[in-house]
Amino acid sequence: MQNRYDFIYLFDVIDGNPNGDPDAGNLPRIDAETGHGLVTDVALKRKIRNFVGLLFNEQPPHEIYVKEKAVLNRQHERAYQEYGLKPEKKKLPKKEEDAARIKGFMCQNFYDIRTFGAVMTTEVNCGQVRGPVQFTFARSVDPVVSSEHAITRMAVTTEKEAEAQQGDNRTMGRKFTIPYGLYRTHGFVSAPLAEQTGFSEEDLELLWKSLEQMFEHDRSAARGQMSARSLLLFKHENRLGNTPAHTLFERVTVERTDASRPARAFSDYQLLFDGQPIDEALAPGDARELGSGVTLVRRF
């Protein structure tokens, strides 16, 4: 990779919980001071991992390191076995070339390691890798309202519960949703770090594809209807970047079309670039030179 990228990603949720907080009874995450909804970077990476694993059936070089029910030390042992090395407890091989081969094996085989990096300094030590792709927390454009719903299951778990209810067999529960929320997150792709992990142009294209399609394969009754809405890429000519990321992000704004009523759909907003509607400035799939060695690409 010879280019740095900064990007803006917009997605929304309708009548769902985009990212519950387990420390708060799985309530939607909300900024306590402003009321804006939050979705963690970890939750977004989880969806990318799931999509890539599904697309490639967990086969190298697109295996997923952090996945459901994974035992990480087992994956580390594979790297040592590949080169006929015996792991020392919590230590990397003494020879630098052996340590580099261990890290290289993990990067080559696992998409999420060469993309997001990983801390693999466990009992079977494979070192630490800093990934080229990073996300911020996603934050809703407007404050959101969390709604609580009582739900009923027409069954109980045990005979004791059935006897206590004399055959009524009902279980009550709670469900939390946001009526509507449009979320915005920022991301960054570092060319120098991509060189270190082996993250390629093909891996980058897979990242964009994942952001476009990952919600289509992550449906859940709890999450409601989640949709990818827009992906804007700022491509730098210089591998270290031509312009600070924040100055590029500030040129893109999201505004309500009618602030007199609550937003309930993506059509209640308009996306602006330099104050101009994005549909007038740039069509999906097109690119526009911004000067100073930066190109704006609208993926969708």
pLDDT above 80 (res 278): yes
Identity at 22, one-letter amino acid code: P
pLDDT digits (tens, 9 = 90+) for 18-30: 999 999 999 999 9
pLDDT above 90 (res 168): no
In this prediction, residue 88 carries a pLDDT of 93
pLDDT above 80 (res 167): no
pLDDT above 90 (res 212): yes
Closest CA relative to residue 178, chosen from 144, 220, 207: 144
Please report which confidence band the pLDDT of residue 81 belongs to, taking 50, 70 and 90 as the band edges. Answer: very high
198 φ/ψ angles, rounded to the nearest 5 degrees:
85, 15
Please report which confidence band the pLDDT of residue 12 belongs to, taking 50, 70 and 90 as the band edges. Answer: very high
In the chain, the percentage of residues whose pLDDT exceeds 90 is 90
Please report which confidence band the pLDDT of residue 251 belongs to, taking 50, 70 and 90 as the band edges. Answer: very high
pLDDT above 80 (res 268): yes
What's the CA gap between 226 and 117, in Å, rounded? 27
Angle between helices 41-56 and 201-213 (to 10 degrees): 110
Report CA 95 to chain centroid distance, whole Å.
Answer: 36
In this prediction, residue 188 carries a pLDDT of 98
3-state secondary structure the chain: CCCCEEEEEEEEEEEECCCEEHHHCCEECECCCCCEEEECHHHHHHHHHHHHHHHHCCCCCCECCCCCCCCHHHHHHHHHHHCCCCCEECECCCCHHHHHHHHHHHHHHEHHHHHHEEEEECCEEEEEEECCEEECCEEEEEECCCEEEEEEECCCCCHHHHHHCCCCCCEEEEEEEEEEEEEEEEEEECHHHHHHHCCCHHHHHHHHHHHHHHHHHCCECCCEEEEEEEEEEEEECCCCCCCCHHHHHCCEEEEECCCCCCCCCHHHEEEEECCEEHHHHCCCCCEEEEECCEEEEECC
pLDDT digits (tens, 9 = 90+) for 232-243: 999 999 999 999
pLDDT above 80 (res 148): yes
Q: Are 249 and 272 in contact (CB under 8 A)?
A: no
Two tokens, residue 275? 């104050």
pLDDT above 90 (res 204): yes
Q: Which residues pair with 36 in a beta bridge?
A: 143
